[in-house]
Structure 1
């Protein structure tokens, strides 16, 4: 037996209690009173515990007025074909009126609670906001969800996993990130399934994975963007030990792990909403259109206890994930809605310092989702983030794939993000799709009715644009082999049969697409010019929809002592040119086409003649260095 203190920060609530049982017991016993320390605002109860697994809950006299309103948007519905237009209109009107009535009833109750303070005598039972594991069916009573506490050798532990590969091989620096965005459930169900496919990630060549939210959220299926508990992981994905094993496996192969963090809001059933709503959250949302749940109040400062409550809780959660799970970066979801650069700047600085103090991993990368993206949000321009999701790149490239280059200058702005005001290659993360958008292949089919070879070729064009543009690059899982499912917060598992070996070779186009992605990623990794800030447009023929740009690096960083040089030439038109002359090539001599078996071109008078220039393709030429030679040099 050893003493353990349960504690809950709820400084202005009147009463609090603890419910505790052995994990094997079905029901809780009598409530255990907790005492408030007025000096620090914590309720505490100290008990002697034997080693084992326990379930626990807290009870408190709530200070919240909060009751969620019904969803503001009416659901879609179709007309009843057996009824007249007038009857359908009457049904629509009645439904709308009933919905508005329910909304008003909730608003009236909330208003009454605020004015009369009648809510302060209501007891609320809930799971510890700091619980590191939650069982939603841990009790047979009305309050089923329980926190799980593992007690061993007189101490609370999370699990017994021992890290193996923290310093196994060096992890890449931020400017070498090639990111693969993944949803655990749709990739292949659980953490262990992802671990079992580690060779796939290695062969693809990516250097980082960005994992969509894994903090515990309501239900068993979803994207995780309404977290309920900020320290517990989604149990349907697996255990904390299995998550650590997965991250360890990535680190073993030099792949960094970036976690998607939701710090703007939480689920309406998160514990603090009913403990003392307005102490932790904004009373009203900043923007009702873009509101996904109670929004943390990062402006709230408690003068009595000298604390920023929301900042501390969210900061503690970030600190926990960095230390406990050895992550290498964070994506800040809905950073536009957070709208508090002071808080973000502090939490990013602390995260970087904390990661550095661990003693492994060269850097920590913090990227924000800002809509629209702007250079003022990145550190190089005085903002809080290392980089931003480059949403303007997505829209411009998508438009160019669909309709050609309707705005030549806008297109150049996103290929060379310095024209938008960004200063470092790490300032922007370029993508042709992500979880918020359908994959480009899906959009091309739905909107243009283009399929098969022509559609796949346009996707390849967009991906090669990513690889040769200014900025980092990100792949949304499945795009690399032609996954066809539309986006949905429901189940949309990757169809791995698309790259299986089939006797009839009916999936040859998917396997070829995967190989193309591998080749482009290899180009990006091996050629130093593509991870420098150097980019210039050298040829433009808007009437023909042809553009070329040059990437290079300084000779002092180059093993060939001449500087690496890459020229990308893009044909946005619907025309295939048998031969096309590109002027202003930066160097005369031999150039090799990386994605075409090192085909050799001789440039004289700074002119390159491209053969068989198919519509909607990007051709990539490397100066004086064959792909085979570069790969051999790196492997040796």
Structure 2
């Protein structure tokens, strides 16, 4: 069983007050009695590029009898007058594996390293006066599934680093956001990388702010009532990930990696039939929940780790993680946990929610339907059905008949994600192109996005925004190739100030506020007014959202016009009273004198109306 207290690198003082660093690493099957020798090479960060200063080498000992073949050494930081060695600061290190006097793996990082250097280096900090991070989030509670509004972002592209994200939290809160989904933040080798080829799983990338930066971000989010989930890449890794590189070069049976069962054939895959793999990623989840107060995980490419709902891979991992989370106060809701476990299993999202301990999932239904409608300029009932996941076979709760565990579940709903060109590009493109020759979307057509945004916030499921969507970001993304994830697309914050940006941000803020305050919009109730074919002929859909209590007088009536002309439709109002339009209040108040009374309403072009009872 993996014990995180005995692997990685830790600085500490001996009985005499002298600083030293303890190193430990598991290398199953790689033992001293087979002729292997292992050294750790260490250098002070300030000495890294100084001519004449070389790393110091220390041989490690194999722990004979350890179940996972642990190697370890404790290095005294004896001051060296010729270098910074022995002084406080950051120390960079790597491992070198030999057999006899011959190199087997000349350079590999620490698979349990808590900090990283640039490229393929791990690091550890020695600082006698550095206080431990002080958390202030004891009162934070993770939002319920039905109350979530998610914002997906790439930290570097969004605003430089973790501190840059903190600077924008009030802005995100105004959009109704209460969950941040961070694209992968673990250490990677390349300078520009989406993060989907991890190198150092336990190490938040130091270019984004490292360990302390991530803690500051999570604590700041919790202070504003926002949860934080990590995009977690557990089905494949970088070719230089230690448990791929070491066993590839040594020829020993690999305890963790195998052939990747997916579309990315250049990446080594993780093998969940192996106990070490299962324990490694469970220990990783525990670490981020405990050390960084992370609120859950968006599991990338689940088909690469899924072997059925009773399998040893994905299903086992989310179950163990759920059980562990029950002990953490911010997840408690009676006898269940509110930990967010979101699966990207696009081939079978319904089964994932029905049969595993996942409470949410990605699914491309609304994105695909919206883009097809935008491209071909039509409206069908399918768009309304996409706003009712239960109609499409999604469960509303997970129930385990054996354990009795029950919790609410729902899919994410989105029209944009990092995997696709921007939604605004579906309506038209400009002559301008980026360095990959991808065209930019025509932001002059921003108004055509508006009805889809209204649908996103007012339908069932969990709304998710992709960074910059709220002001009409218009990057393109190639369908394949390294240009997808090795090309930086910084958010165009200047768009926030122009006509298109102001209009879209204003709409997102209005809808975010309504989603937060109107219980009907975060309920499980939904009724599509399909019987009136006149609606579809006019490119209009209309539906009712019922409140959590199910009382009709607490409903929200939504009508959305996807056409370029104002449209008038008949809409049934469920109960008597005064009904007022909620977004702008400019529509005349509707007086209803009998239940289910039909009223003629006008819907602006490429827009919508939301009525609530006063």
TM-score category by the smaller chain?
0.7 to 0.9
2:463 aligned residue: 473
1:588 paired with 2:576, answer: yes
Q: Deviations over 1:504-524 (max 9, x none)?
A: xxx133112111100011111
Structure showing the higher helix proportion among its residues: 1
Distance 1:479 1:499 in 2: 10
1:32 paired with 2:59, answer: yes
> Which has the higher mean CA deviation after the structures are superposed, 11-20 or 435-444?
11-20
Distance 2:601 2:580 in 1: 13
Q: Is the Cα contact below 8 Å between 1:401 and 1:462 reproduced in 2?
A: no
2:436 aligned residue: none
Contiguous gaps of at least 5 residues in structure 1: 63-119, 138-144, 301-307, 501-506, 626-636
1:186 paired with 2:157, answer: yes
Change in CA separation of 1:376 and 1:555 when aligned onto 2, cut-off 3 Å: closer
Change in CA separation of 1:428 and 1:511 when aligned onto 2, cut-off 3 Å: same
Distance 2:537 2:441 in 1: 24
> Which has the higher mean CA deviation after the structures are superposed, 264-273 or 436-445?
436-445
1:422 aligned residue: 394
2:116 aligned residue: 134
Q: Is the Cα contact below 8 Å between 2:109 and 2:242 reproduced in 1?
A: yes
Note the 1:620-631 alignment, pairs <5 A.
620-622=610-612, 624-625=613-614
Q: Is the Cα contact below 8 Å between 2:229 and 2:294 reproduced in 1?
A: yes
1:336 aligned residue: 303
Number of residue pairs matched by the alignment? 534
Q: Deviations over 1:50-108 (max 9, x none)?
A: 5844333222248xxxxxxxxxxxxxxxxxxxxxxxxxxxxxxxxxxxxxxxxxxxxxx
Note the 1:295-444 alignment, pairs <5 A.
295-300=269-274, 308-341=275-308, 342=311, 343-362=313-332, 363-378=338-353, 381-405=354-378, 407-408=380-381, 410-424=382-396, 426-444=409-427
Paired residue secondary structure (2:291): helix
Q: Is the Cα contact below 8 Å between 1:581 and 1:607 reproduced in 2?
A: no
Q: Is the Cα contact below 8 Å between 1:17 and 1:59 reproduced in 2?
A: yes
1:602 aligned residue: 591
Q: Deviations over 1:353-390 (max 9, x none)?
A: 43342323442111111123431111xx2134211112
Note the 1:218-617 alignment, pairs <5 A.
218-277=189-248, 279-281=254-256, 283-287=258-262, 289-300=263-274, 308-341=275-308, 342=311, 343-362=313-332, 363-378=338-353, 381-405=354-378, 407-408=380-381, 410-424=382-396, 426-446=409-429, 451=442, 455-487=445-477, 488-489=484-485, 490-500=487-497, 507-539=498-530, 540-541=532-533, 542-555=536-549, 563-577=553-567, 579-582=568-571, 584-597=572-585, 599=587, 600-604=589-593, 606-617=596-607
Quote the offset at 1:526 in angstroms.
Answer: 0.8
1:21 paired with 2:42, answer: yes
Quote the offset at 1:397 in angstroms.
Answer: 2.4
Change in CA separation of 1:19 and 1:271 when aligned onto 2, cut-off 3 Å: same
Quote the offset at 1:620 in angstroms.
Answer: 1.4
Quote the offset at 1:221 in angstroms.
Answer: 1.0
Q: Deviations over 1:142-173 (max 9, x none)?
A: xxx432123567xxx9x744233212454422
Distance 2:266 2:392 in 1: 30
Paired residue secondary structure (1:567): strand
Change in CA separation of 1:168 and 1:123 when aligned onto 2, cut-off 3 Å: closer
Q: Is the Cα contact below 8 Å between 2:425 and 2:442 reproduced in 1?
A: no
Q: Is the Cα contact below 8 Å between 2:28 and 2:68 reproduced in 1?
A: yes
Change in CA separation of 1:8 and 1:123 when aligned onto 2, cut-off 3 Å: same
Quote the offset at 1:498 in angstroms.
Answer: 2.3
Q: Is the Cα contact below 8 Å between 1:206 and 1:255 reproduced in 2?
A: yes
Q: Is the Cα contact below 8 Å between 1:266 and 1:294 reproduced in 2?
A: yes
Quote the offset at 1:239 in angstroms.
Answer: 2.4
Structure showing the higher strand proportion among its residues: 2
Distance 2:592 2:375 in 1: 32
Paired residue secondary structure (1:419): helix
Paired residue secondary structure (2:298): strand
Paired residue secondary structure (1:16): strand
Quote the offset at 1:461 in angstroms.
Answer: 0.8
Contiguous gaps of at least 5 residues in structure 2: 1-12, 15-19, 48-52, 78-85, 333-337, 397-407, 431-438, 478-483
Distance 1:450 1:164 in 2: 42
Distance 2:185 2:121 in 1: 18
> Which has the higher mean CA deviation after the structures are superposed, 531-540 or 168-177?
168-177
Q: Is the Cα contact below 8 Å between 1:181 and 1:434 reproduced in 2?
A: yes
> Which has the higher mean CA deviation after the structures are superposed, 368-377 or 4-13?
4-13
TM-score by length of 1: 0.77
Change in CA separation of 1:46 and 1:452 when aligned onto 2, cut-off 3 Å: closer
Change in CA separation of 1:127 and 1:452 when aligned onto 2, cut-off 3 Å: closer
